[in-house]
Copies of this chain bind each other. A is one copy, B any other.
Amino acid sequence: MQSFSDLTGSFESRFTSSLPFPDQPTALYEPCSYLLHLGGKRVRPVLCLMACELFDAIGDDAWYAANAIELFHNFTLIHDDIMDKAPLRRGQPTLHHKYGMTAGILCGDVMCIYAYEQLAHVRKNLPQVIQLFNKTAIEVCEGQQMDMDFETRNDVSIEEYLTMITLKTSVLLACSLKIGALTGGALGDNARKLYDFGKNMGIAFQLQDDLLDAFGDTAKLGKQNGGDIRANKKTYLLLKAQENATGDQKAQIAQLLATDAGNQKVADMLALYTATGADKACRDAMTHYADLAFANLEDVAIPTVRKEPLRELARYLLVRDK
């Protein structure tokens, strides 16, 4: 069994060089290459490879599927960055900021299609693999749309928020694991358990992200904390604080949301998150989904020792301070 860092290294060293991008048109493929070389944690393709290795040696099918998943993820990043008007990604200019909006749209499109091109090389269980990939890709778009809708809505429920992060983030992690398992020849029940593991881990990961953005240490995060608060982003913490707040607290939250971004706004909102118990509720929810995830992994019917790399990765994603 290979560790998370072993597999990340192996994936990184073959990923971009294994892609069949031609040289021309340069204005299409150079930006694609730029983005793919910005790096990233490569969590999704490595989950795919690890899930395969639970059941069989990692073969061509798993490598192609891992490429497809990482390409799809990067396609969504390119288009999300346009929609979010984001200037930076991994400390570098976003693709559309560097190459323009037309390039952003078209490079995203062609990267999505290359994801399918790579996926079509999978031989084992191809129809099942493609159907899951399609279902997931549609869900990711729906999650992104919900996230956009939330920006202008004032009646978002916690349940809707959990649905949104499930669609936008978790299902692709779950899909990566299940497709990896399918390329390794896993039987239905084990593949489903891994899917659930990924889904619950993804929800826990996003809640952890909300907590770190609010309460994390600026030095460790590598960015100022409170970014979500400054942007009035509807996170679990804000929604829960609004739900739990007394009349006075509700008014204070509403007033803070109307206040310009600044350190005082962050400090005051954090105090309200604590006073309303939203921080504890978010930590509890995070622990709940993390526990579910680890239980799903236990349920996969293979020797425990083989699951250690996945358990290690889950701990790395869920027990973190940045």
Contact = CB atoms under 8 A, between A and B. Distances in A.
A3 to B, nearest CB: 33
Nearest to A136: B113
Given A105-B105, A109-B112, A138-B113, A127 B130 contact: no
B114 A138 contact: yes
Instruction: Specify how many copies of this chain sit in the oligomer.
Output: 2
B79 A105 contact: yes
Contacts of A108: 105, 109
A142 B25 contact: yes
A17 interface: no
A144 interface: yes
A131 interface: yes
Interface string A125-141: 01100110011011001
B138 A110 contact: yes
Interface stretch (A145-153, A176-184, A214-222, A291-299): A145-153
Contact of A117 (B83, B105, B126, B134): B134
A58 interface: no
Contacts of A105: 79, 82-83, 105, 108
A148 B109 CA distance: 15
B148 A27 contact: yes
A261 interface: no
Max chain B Cβ within 10 angstroms of own Cβ: one of A112, A116, A137: A116
Given A134-B120, A149-B25, A113 B141 contact: yes
Nearest to A83: B102
Q: Chain B CB within 10 Å — which of A27, A79, A135, A145 has the most?
A: A145
Contacts of A145: 25, 27-28, 106
Nearest to A112: B112
Contact of A126 (B24, B109, B126, B137): B126
B110 A83 contact: no
A19 to B, nearest CB: 12
B102 A148 contact: yes
Interface in A32-85: 79, 82-83
A56 to B, nearest CB: 21
30 contacts: A24-B142, A25-B142, A25-B145, A25-B146, A27-B145, A27-B149, A28-B142, A28-B145, A79-B106, A82-B105, A102-B148, A105-B105, A105-B108, A106-B144, A106-B145, A109-B112, A110-B138, A110-B142, A112-B112, A112-B113, A113-B138, A113-B141, A116-B116, A116-B134, A116-B137, A117-B134, A120-B127, A120-B131, A120-B134, A126-B127
Interface of A: 24-25, 27-28, 79, 82-83, 102, 105-106, 108-110, 112-114, 116-117, 120, 126-127, 130-131, 134-135, 137-138, 141-142, 144-146, 148-149
Given A106-B148, A113-B134, 9 more contacts: A25-B142, A83-B102, A83-B105, A106-B141, A108-B109, A113-B138, A114-B138, A120-B131, A120-B134
